[in-house]
Structure 1
Amino acid sequence: MNKDNALHYIKTNTIIGVKAGQQRSEFLEIWMVEVRNRIFARSWGLAERSWYTAFLEDPSGEIRCGEVIYPIKAVIPEDINDLANEINQAYLAKYNTGHNIPYSQGIIREKHMAKTMEFIIWD
């Protein structure tokens, strides 16, 4: 497993698969961004049962980058306040076309920023 390959995939693809916890059997496709060689995602739906809440219960999971699956640990970053603007800018830069624009402008709002998670690849 190579973290650099995963980061490259995330930088160059808009939809990445995530599987939260050990209870889920399928990958959910979500938006992810790379900032400072770290992987971040935000919950869009803010549902009571979501990938975000599943990771709060069990931080282990997987991301799927094409055909390659990487084991991950999901954490709420301790330095989120320092990174918030960079994560916002990463979303706006990456998801900046067509139907993505209203969503990228929405995901930088406070309610979504509060649901930011970092995915750490296990080497």
Structure 2
Amino acid sequence: MNKENALHYIKTNTIIGIKAGFQRSDFLEIWMIVVQDRIFARSWGLAEKSWYNTFLENPEGEIQCGKIIYPIKAAIPEDLNDITEEINQAYLAKYNTGHNIPYSRGIIQEKHVAKTMEFVILD
């Protein structure tokens, strides 16, 4: 049931809180999408000290969906090449208004595709 609630929240909200590892006290707000009942996000800033690189060092973290916090494990999707186009289309469909449009078009570019992370909710 936890997973279904989180998937619904992510599908219906544009900004989701994420905390990579346990050193940070605050959640960072990022874009997430759902494809095939799986949760994905891409790094925008590509910084060395990013949530993406923190997850590469330690896959444990949390996502915040409203007032509910879910423990997660992050991983680079093994089927990234196969699912990339669906992820791209999900970003374009979800973030398709106003000031989001240039960013949704940007996040489907190769340098961001290479920074795709999948989040699995731990029960």
TM-score by length of 1: 0.99
* Equivalent residue, structure 2, for 1:118: 118
- Consecutive unaligned residues of structure 1, counting only runs of 5 or more, are none
In the aligned structure 1, how far is the partner of 2:73 from the partner of 2:93? 26
Match of 2:15 in 1: 15
Q: Counterparts of 1:104 and 1:63 in 2: how far apart (Å)?
A: 21
Q: CA RMSD in A?
A: 0.6
Distance in 1, matches of 2:49 and 2:108, equals 21
CA offsets 1:19-62 (integer angstroms, 9 cap, x no match): 00121111000000000000000000000110000101110000
In structure 2, stretches of 5+ residues that fail to align are none
Match of 2:59 in 1: 59
Q: Is the 8 A contact 1:60 1:71 kept in 2?
A: yes
Q: How many residues are aligned here?
A: 123
Alignment of structure 1 residues 40-119 onto 2, 5 Å: 40-119=40-119
Is 2:23 the counterpart of 1:6? no
Q: How does 1:30-45 map to 2 (within 5 A)?
A: 30-45=30-45
**Alpha-carbon shift at residue 79 of structure 1 (Å):** 0.4
**Tell me, what secondary structure is at the counterpart of 1:11?**
helix
Q: Distance in 1 between matches of 2:23 and 2:60?
A: 10
TM-score when scaled to structure 2? 0.99
Give me the whole-angstrom Cα distance separating, in 2, the residues matched to 1:11 and 1:83: 18
| SS at 1:64 equivalent | strand
